[in-house]
Structure 1
Amino acid sequence: MRAAYASSSKPDAPLSALTVDDRLDPDPPDGWVTVDVRASSLNHHEIWSLRGVGLPADRLPMILGCDAAGVDPEGNEVVLHSVVPDPKDPRGYSLLSERHPGTLAERVAVPAGNLVAKPAGMSFLDAACVPTAWLTAYHMLVTRGRVADADAVLVQGAGGGVSTAAVVLAVALGKRVYATSREQWKRDRVAELGATAVAPGARLPERVNMVVESVGAPTFEHSMKSARPGARIVVCGATGGHLATVDLRRVFGMQLDILGSSMGTAEELAELLTLMAERDLRPVIDSTYGFSAVADAFARLHSGEVFGKVAIDHLH
């Protein structure tokens, strides 16, 4: 079967570690099933894997990809939850493409419990954009950030998959949403999604109950200064740097909660897909590539000029 995989690790030139070629079909163990992939999408996780982060040399070659939608052996249209229980990992889990082959292939094997029904009205391409970025945003907002108790939310670093998902979801849930970006064109785009766009570090019209934080060091001080007493700052990444300075006086003085967050459960994925179907929410897709052009899709993601998700149509 055709697949896109990491054939080596190249910390300074990750795209040169990407190979697109034939690989063996999956041989699923007991309790796993093989899904015919109809669509997938890219995450920065794939770029980090090509750099060798979380993917040591003894696991290469490794088929990349966490996100997919497709058809199971019974003909059901499904979305894949990419979190696999893993007692060897300190997190207690690993993602597809870390220890088990990923979704950027014609077929992928997953535990049967990782299959979630695709809403009938949702395209395979839209569904394939949900399992990592949108699920991460949903888990941050609903589970960790208790957004139901909030009326105002700040999303740092709008433009990426998680941040755009957080904006769309928070707006759909009726919250006042503020979003930052260094680039004016991204601020213009995020305003079209219903948020109030602000420059990084700018003072907000009000303090917020919750912050979606994925940038890290460059924005964390602004996140704390923008928070109301008792607010939750939910952190899912640190794309701009992981060594942020934290003024502990503000943490205890304002009684702030700083919460880590990563991915979400299969049950939350089902809830999210239902919400999106009921509210007619569609993922923000930056661009779509046929599988024959998957290398171009990686180049697009790596360019840093992406707004939303890069999707892959496996039928073309």
Structure 2
Amino acid sequence: MTSPVSTPRPATMKKDSLGCPSNLLRKDLQVESGDITFYRKCMDQPELERIAMPACERGFLVGVSLNSGHRRKIFRGAQSIDRRFHDHSIYIRDFSEDYRADLYGNFDFLLVELPHTFLTRLADEHNVPAVRGLICRTEQEDAVLGHLAGALAASIEAPGSLDTLLIEQLGLAIGTHLARRYGDLRPADERIKGALSAASVTRAKDMLLDRARESLSIADVARECNLSRGYFIRAFAKATGSTPHQWLLEKRTEQARQLVETTDMTLSAIAQSCGFADQSHLSRVFLKLVGAPPGAWRRRPAG
């Protein structure tokens, strides 16, 4: 096993907003969704890098490891903690504390920045006391969070435009899971509210299908239904059998199948007409929901 080596770095090396040398990263992506910011950070080399950031009021940073092999030494005063990461290992960093660590490369993380505004809003939506903080064990692993993070990472890295509804939906699930498992967010009595009337279901569907509202968020639709985001997702799924994002994909695929069967439009034009990011996105979703790629579906024998 090759040991990490420390090599001299230029004084002008660029650091990202988390203190990491960005020019050493194979992946370096950032996506904002509502109050949450997501980062994809990957470094393949076993380089030794020191991270040092002063305390600030940004809230909390949660790191979810998507591979094994990374290790770091975290310094707290005169003490140090050696940490090794595996698939689904996580850490929680409180930005209100100074942070110093030696990172020994070989990492693949999805990072979630949760500001205090997100936790306050989440507590308000659940009508429960505010979340006072997030904390986990040093060697914490979380398979649920790991799978959610993997799905969100795949969405961020998918070609074409971002699927903002899916990212928002996954982000809310991640944030709620963190607040409940590692904070003190108490589950609310969901029997009190959360039902969608027939009129609200119709309104929500019309808003989701309105192609003129490309920047539409789940929060926008939930607000129209006088529900919080979390309540709306659960109530919509109860009423329709699908989450808002899945329902929208199903409807767009139905529209695309009709055009594939009844017109000579190119698959690229159909993808654009039905709201898919591109032809590749249409093909992936069509194959999953219909059982065959759109081109093969068009060429299948009639009858």
Instruction: Tell me the TM-score range normalised by the shorter chain.
Output: under 0.3
Whose helix proportion is higher, 1 or 2?
Answer: 2
TM-score, normalised with respect to structure 2: 0.26
Q: Which has the larger radius of gyration?
A: 2
Structure ranking higher on relative contact order (CA contacts 8 Å, 6+ apart): 1
TM superposition score normalised by structure 1: 0.25
Where is the strand percentage greater, Structure 1 or Structure 2?
1
